[in-house]
Amino acid sequence: MLRLQFHFQCFGRLGIFSSWSEDFGDHVINQKALSQIREFEALRLEAYQCSAKKWTIGYGHTKGVKEGDTCTEEEAEAWLFEDCQDVIKGLQSIKFNVDLNENQWAALISLIFNIGITHFNTSTVKKELLKKKWSPVLLSRAWKMWNKETVDGKKVVSNGLVRRRKKEVTLFFQPLEYV
């Protein structure tokens, strides 16, 4: 059963979650995951169609979004939280149980937030992670393959996704800092 832990700090008038974690065994969605997602999804307060022609708002939120929708920063943060919960629930539904450290978990959450649990479930990234001893070279290569977006029905390399995957892989292999 999922146990939720919430830690809230307010920033000015915004009730933005500056620090929160969701318990999933020994793994949490932490600030590093949120920062990655916020950086690459970018806050958009008005609905727009992404390159895949999906209506999107907030930080990459697509559920129930239609043309003309608007949101506040508070709503965008709440949706970000809900969408990250969906990633955790998705990992739970496919019974993904791999021992990852905090940085690795944060990078993985960012990847799945972007590509979706269905794509992750059939990905080479998942296959590599499920190996007892995964190869950093093969895992990096598999991760970086998710660098394409759909434009006019065709898959094309996206500079933004190339940057995102590079940053996620760097975080994945970054040693933990203990204070």
Catalytic residue IDs: 41, 50
Instruction: Determine the Cα–Cα distance for residues 144 and 161; give it in Å rounded to an integer.
Output: 9
Question: CA 85 to CA 142: how far, in whole Å?
Answer: 25
CA–CA distances in Å: residue 78 to residues 3, 17, 93, 102: 18, 9, 22, 22
Burial letters 151-171, b for 16+ CB under 10 A, else e: eeeeeeebeebeebbebbbeb
HEC assignment per residue over 92-151 = HHCCCCCCCCHHHHHHHHHHHHHHCHHHHHCCHHHHHHCCCCCCHHHHHHHHHCCCEEEE
Location of structure tokens 């905090």: 102
